[in-house]
């Protein structure tokens, strides 16, 4: 089977990229590497038969979040400030302990791809068996997303909306630039400039329409 | 950004295709991978590509932020409105079977409307995020 | 798939721990968000790995196919990705405001200005 080979290849690329992110100080490079990390992750999702998720990850993780991070970098510092010591001991210890506990926790999980794993035995099986006749559309992910778990998705949509409001509240929105005013005659406050600009723009003889200039 | 002739020409050709692809992903999501979340992001990406090349001011002329604030709320309201409609028609909240005479037709209609709401909200919010980040004046 | 049976989970945990290390050890706030984003992506891999079924295919119903991978983790992660970018955007917006208020995005300099240590 070619699947696991591609899987391991992509995951090892991701490990290399993650280690490069730890060492790199140029934040522009960090943003690009995180984008590449997401793109490879989309490849891993494709290998693991999650086409919808891969699609979303490629569009969101590699696209939008990179643009947002780059936009942040133009407002803040381009480079990370150099610190005194390279490797800090306390965070490394905490991370190693957490990782060891998690690996210990995975040791009695069902093996990868086991068709008898508990996760495949409850509602998921029913969705796959019945959604064809109950919902009538082939993409099971869409039928679960929009119909069986519609409450979830409503909540997620509301979260996205709220996040949009939060960002607007924090940063504000730029208004549209004022349109270049084309005809300004009749405006008393700007009367002086109106006369000048009308005379400058219009090359035609002024006596053709004396009443317009006379207003100002 | 005035000198990238190749980028501007290529992106002018690509942006309509990206938008068309977003609509395909939105409305064909029942049969192939896709749906409101992906379509919204792809649609927003097309407009962001335009904004990156032609400037935020030109983009604001096409899609003012006030309109986007309205549509962002409209998507959530459309989603919740489908739920309220099913309640008024005698079913549970988001029980699409009530929307039509037989179950699968109602489900089709409900999923279509709900995914449309998701797509509208996601694309509007992603664009608003970009506007907020890009519109903040650059500080050295 | 023979040699460990669990390698995907272990690699995902390793990746998430690298992200966690960046999150706790680096002082630059933008880099912290990058680490958090990597942590998040690795957790997605862990979830999707659990949905894999051997010899299964993409969960789109087709005649003649019997084995599909589990669609439930796909749904959960699909929405989590989009919500993740929305929350990341809030974090980045806060960083921009911090930069404007303190004129730095390094954590220790912020603490120094606040005299919080």
pLDDT for A123: 84
The beta-carbon neighbor of C96 closest among B37, B129, B136 is: B136
CA-CA distance, B18 to A27, in Å (whole number)?
29
Chain C: residue whose CA lies nearest to A94: C21
pLDDT for the residue A86: 61
Give A79's strand partners: A26
Residues of C in contact with A15 (CB under 8 A): 11, 14-15, 18
Model confidence pLDDT, tens digit, residues A13-58: 999 999 999 999 899 999 999 999 999 999 999 999 899 999 999 9
The arithmetic mean of pLDDT across residues C51-63, rounded, is 87
Local confidence pLDDT in tens for the 140 residues of chain B: 557 889 889 999 999 999 999 999 999 988 888 889 999 999 999 999 999 888 888 899 989 999 999 999 999 999 999 999 999 998 888 888 888 888 888 899 999 999 999 999 999 999 999 999 998 764 43
Structural domains of chain C ordered from first start: 7-105 (1.10.287.3510)
Structure token digits, residue A103: 């690996």
CB atoms within 10 A of CB B102: 9
pLDDT confidence band for A114 (50 / 70 / 90): confident
User: Which of A67-71, A86-90, B68-72, C18-22 has the lowest average pLDDT?
Assistant: A86-90
Higher-confidence position of A205 and A104 = A104
Q: Is the pLDDT of residue A207 over 60?
A: no
pLDDT at A120: 87
How high is the ipTM of this complex? Answer: 0.91
Q: Is the overall model pTM greater than 0.90, yes or no?
A: no
For position C33, what pLDDT does the model report?
94
What is the phi-psi region of residue A160: left when phi exceeds 0, alpha when psi lies from -120 to 50, beta otherwise? alpha
Per-residue model confidence (pLDDT) at position A193: 42
CB C79 within 8 A of CB A152: yes
> So what's the pLDDT on residue C56?
85
Contact C82 A160 (CB under 8 A): yes
pLDDT bracket for residue A135 (50, 70, 90)? confident
Q: Where do the domains of chain A lie?
A: 1-81, 184-216
pLDDT in tens, C22-34: 999 988 999 999 9
Higher pLDDT, A32 or A192: A32
Closest-CA residue of B relative to A176 is B60
Q: Could you tell me which chains touch chain B, where touching means 3 or more CB pairs under 8 A?
A: A, C
Q: What pLDDT shows up at residue A200? A: 42
pLDDT exceeds 80 at position C13: yes
For residue A185 the two structure tokens come to 């005659």
Q: Where are the domains of chain B?
A: 5-135
- Identify the closest residue of chain C to A110 by CA–CA distance: C6
* Maximum distance among all Cα pairs of chain C, rounded to whole angstroms: 68
DSSP state of C48: H
The answer to whether B103 contacts chain A (CB < 8 Å) is yes
Q: How far is Cα of residue C110 from the mean position of the Cα atoms in its chain?
A: 26
Q: How far is the CA of A71 from the CAs of A58, A78, B39, B125, C68, in angstroms?
A: 19, 11, 23, 16, 41
């Amino acid at each position: 089977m070619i699947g696991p080979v591609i899987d391991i290849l992509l995951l090892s690329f991701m490990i290399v990229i993650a280690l490069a992110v730890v060492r790199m100080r140029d934040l522009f490079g960090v943003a690009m590497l995180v984008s590449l990390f997401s793109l490879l992750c989309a490849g891993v999702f494709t290998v693991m038969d999650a086409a919808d998720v891969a699609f979303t990850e490629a569009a969101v993780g590699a696209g939008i979040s990179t643009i947002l991070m780059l936009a942040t970098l133009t407002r803040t510092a381009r480079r990370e400030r150099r610190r005194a010591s390279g490797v800090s001991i306390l965070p490394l210890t905490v991370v190693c302990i957490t990782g060891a506990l998690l690996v210990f926790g995975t040791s009695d999980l069902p093996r990868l791809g086991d068709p008898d794993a508990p996760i495949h035995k409850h509602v998921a099986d029913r969705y796959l068996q019945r959604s064809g006749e109950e919902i009538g559309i082939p993409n099971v992910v869409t039928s679960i997303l929009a119909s069986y778990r519609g409450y979830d998705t409503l909540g997620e949509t509301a979260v996205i909306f709220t996040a949009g409001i939060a960002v607007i509240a924090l940063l504000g929105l730029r208004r549209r630039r004022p349109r270049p005013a084309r005809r300004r005659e009749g405006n008393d406050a700007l009367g002086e400039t109106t006369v000048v600009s009308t005379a400058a723009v219009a090359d035609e003889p002024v006596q053709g329409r004396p009443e317009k200039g006379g207003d100002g | 950004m005035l000198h990238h002739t190749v980028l501007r020409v290529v992106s002018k050709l690509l942006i309509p295709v990206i938008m068309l692809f977003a609509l395909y992903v939105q409305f064909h999501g029942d049969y192939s991978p896709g749906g409101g979340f992906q379509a919204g992001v792809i649609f927003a990406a097309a407009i962001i590509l335009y904004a990156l090349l032609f400037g935020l001011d030109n983009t604001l002329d096409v899609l003012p932020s006030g309109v986007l604030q309205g549509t962002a709320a409209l998507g959530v309201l459309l989603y919740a409105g489908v739920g309220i409609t099913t309640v008024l028609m005698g079913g549970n909240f988001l029980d699409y079977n009530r929307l039509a005479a037989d179950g699968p037709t109602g489900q089709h209609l409900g999923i279509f409307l709900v995914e449309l709401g998701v797509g509208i909200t996601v694309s509007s919010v992603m664009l608003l995020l970009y506007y907020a980040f890009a519109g903040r004046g650059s500080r050295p | 798939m023979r040699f460990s049976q669990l390698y995907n989970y272990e690699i995902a945990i390793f990746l998430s721990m690298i992200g966690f290390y960046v999150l706790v050890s680096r002082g630059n706030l933008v880099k912290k968000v990058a680490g958090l984003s990597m942590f998040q992506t690795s957790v997605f891999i862990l979830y999707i790995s659990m949905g894999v079924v051997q010899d299964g295919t993409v969960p789109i119903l087709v005649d003649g196919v019997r084995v599909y991978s589990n669609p439930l983790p796909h749904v959960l992660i699909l929405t989590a990705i989009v919500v993740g970018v929305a929350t990341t955007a809030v974090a980045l917006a806060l960083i921009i405001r911090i930069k404007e208020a303190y004129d730095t995005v390094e954590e220790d300099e912020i603490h120094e200005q606040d005299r919080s240590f």
